[in-house]
Amino acid sequence: MEHRKKPEDLRSNRWLTATDMRAFGHRSRAKQMGYSIEDFAGKPVIAIVNTWSDLSSCHSHFRTRAEEIKRGVWQAGGFPVELPAMPVNETFMKPSPMLYRNFLAMETEELLRSQPVDGVVLMGGCDKTTPGLLMGAISMDLPTIYLPAGPMLRGNWNGQALGSGTDVWKYWAEKRAGNISDCQWSEIEDGIARSAGHCMTMGTASTMTAIAETLGMSLPGASSIPAVDANHSRMASQCGRRIVEIVWEDLKPSNILTEKAFENAITVDMAIGGTTNAIIHLVAIAGRVGIKLNLKKFDDISQHTPMIANLRPSGQYLMEDFYYAGGLRALLKEITELLHLDCLTVTGQTLGENLEGANLINADVIRPTNNPVSAKGGTAVLYGNLAPNGAVIKPTAASPHLLEHKGRAVVFKDYDDLSVRINDEDLIVDENSILVLQNAGPIGGPGMPEWGMLPLPQKLLEKGVRDMVRISDARMSGTSYGACVLHVSPESFVGGPLALVREGDFIELSVSNRKLELCISDEEMEKRRAEWKPPAPYYARGFGALYTAHVTQAEEGCDFDFLHRGAETPEPEIH
């Protein structure tokens, strides 16, 4: 390579090879851990940022994978150091793991900045970990490879395949309707999460890891390998070998993450029927390299991208099937005419070059473009007086008859109100009503929880109703489905029009016209706005207060305003 680094160019030299007293301290402390000078002198120091914890169920194989990465790093002549980072796990963290995505991004960036590191392997997969790790590493801009956790094996109950999230919602609705017994529900609990790995539907985790690979930040094919497949271990050690090379080549995220790479990522998001959460995360990731993605770009690309991954929640199969069908490389090969194939990746080759030899093995799981699951992608962006800065819906996961709909609002002022009243026999609601949830956005949630798939009223479930129009400023799990309008912006907690909706108002949704309208006059809207009083803030101190002061709205990716790309942050002084 033309710009190949020499040992004396390594960033870690400032810590490890200087002749001053501080460098003496750094070397002596490396020796304290049992390393010899031969282990690290003149070698790229590779950070392995590991989001393992005892409560991070999707990453329970990461201790082993970290060792496999280290094996590769040693083989290639690097010096691996494992750095734990906040395991933002989707299941246990409250009030919402989204509250902590930016925390992980900050932690990742500062872990790398403050320590002697030349390159980094990021270990993530559970929903927020992919964007959080990438955002931080991109801002630091050291040579980086993203190691995706891989999906768990498909679930199993009574001979039926179970999908994470998607089948929870489905069978919970059946249980509430009286069609599933407590005993069967317990059997489903035993069978739905059978191995390490992230959710194996095309939820947020599978979407974001596919996006990381498409952006060029993972090894080709890495995101599709099931977590417990031996190929996943081999991919991990390959990441270790490759990251050392990338350091010498000085191949950094800023060389890879161009506007075209983000267009590829959006195209793939549509082709896989990816989660609506990807919009927020991609906007935030792009913001870290100074690229502004607006919502319209997602809708535009959606219009001419067929959805060809037949995966739940929009399709039939699960990620294990996707891997056996050829995985992401096979899918990318099917849509090559929609991609910028000349984008550089961590292999040092282009996206197009990485697809050589990719094979489509099962044309029902990954459909050819002339037989798609849906002719258009899975995202529509809505505007109107109810969402001046935008809202999104996933039409492929909604009941078609609800995509053009006008109905009366049933309004819940927050999630507690929803929980208390949704099953009230006296609630005035029918299948044509529109359920509205307020105060569930970035600040109001707080942390924009995945409440956007509002539960249906018990009495309607018992009547056989399985979908209704639902509107909120929340997000929705990538494994969820239904006619759910999400990310309404500005959010109600800061006085967006969603805060002004009242019980019985008519709301009109037209996905074909990309419209979301509250059917009241401008005068009435102004009158209500004048009467609106801001709620008291949730946090007076701590990270929550920092978050509230600096988080941006959904269309800006919910990153902190001070973390967008700006002036260079200086390297730390070593005194």
Can you give the binding site for ligand FES, defined by CB under 6 A?
Answer: 58, 90-91, 126-127, 164, 198-199, 205
Nearer to ligand FES, 280 or 435 (CB): 280
DSSP, res 350? B
Residues 6+ apart with CB under 8 A from 542: none
Min dist. Cβ of residue 447 to ligand FES (A): 16
Nearer to ligand FES, 17 or 164 (CB): 164
Min dist. Cβ of residue 316 to ligand FES (A): 19
Nearer to ligand FES, 202 or 289 (CB): 202
Write the CA distances from 425 to 53, 411, 422, 464, integer angstroms: 43, 16, 9, 16
Residue appearing with tokens 């037989």: 371
Two tokens at 380?
């529509």
Do 351 and 187 form a contact (C-beta atoms < 8 A)?
Answer: no
Closest CA to 381 of 495, 489, 535: 489
Min dist. Cβ of residue 477 to ligand FES (A): 8
Nearer to ligand FES, 396 or 480 (CB): 480
Min dist. Cβ of residue 329 to ligand FES (A): 22
Nearest-angstrom CA–CA distance, 255 and 142:
11
Do 70 and 240 form a contact (C-beta atoms < 8 A)?
Answer: yes
Nearest-angstrom CA–CA distance, 419 and 367:
40
Residue appearing with tokens 């800006």: 556
Nearer to ligand FES, 137 or 199 (CB): 199
The DSSP annotation for 506-532 comes to EEEEETTTTEEEE-S-HHHHHHHHHH-
Min dist. Cβ of residue 19 to ligand FES (A): 47
DSSP, res 155? E
Number of other CB atoms surrounding residue 519 within 10 Å:
14
Nearer to ligand FES, 156 or 510 (CB): 156
Do 152 and 59 form a contact (C-beta atoms < 8 A)?
Answer: no
Do 132 and 101 form a contact (C-beta atoms < 8 A)?
Answer: yes
Min dist. Cβ of residue 288 to ligand FES (A): 22
Nearer to ligand FES, 140 or 319 (CB): 319
Residues forming beta bridges with residue 147, ordered by sequence position? 123
- Peptide bond just before 148 cis, omega within 30 deg: no
Nearest-angstrom CA–CA distance, 514 and 517:
10
Min dist. Cβ of residue 213 to ligand FES (A): 16
Nearer to ligand FES, 263 or 320 (CB): 320
Two tokens at 194?
């059978």
Sign of the alpha-carbon torsion through 526, 528, 533, 534: negative
Min dist. Cβ of residue 252 to ligand FES (A): 28
Nearer to ligand FES, 149 or 410 (CB): 149
What is the CB-side half-sphere exposure of residue 408 using CA atoms within 13 A?
8
Nearest-angstrom CA–CA distance, 436 and 150:
35
**Angle at Cα 452 formed by Cα 451 and Cα 457, nearest 5°?**
85
Two tokens at 198?
């992230």
Q: For residues 419-438, b (16+ Cβ closer than 10 Å) or e, as one string? A: eeebeeeeeebebebbbbbb
Nearer to ligand FES, 152 or 520 (CB): 152
Min dist. Cβ of residue 139 to ligand FES (A): 24
Going through 320-386 in order, the beta strands assigned E by DSSP cover 380-384
Nearer to ligand FES, 148 or 384 (CB): 148
Do 49 and 105 form a contact (C-beta atoms < 8 A)?
Answer: no
Nearer to ligand FES, 16 or 205 (CB): 205
Min dist. Cβ of residue 431 to ligand FES (A): 30
Min dist. Cβ of residue 570 to ligand FES (A): 36
Nearest-angstrom CA–CA distance, 202 and 277:
12
Min dist. Cβ of residue 255 to ligand FES (A): 29
Nearer to ligand FES, 127 or 473 (CB): 127
Two tokens at 449?
């929880």
Min dist. Cβ of residue 189 to ligand FES (A): 15
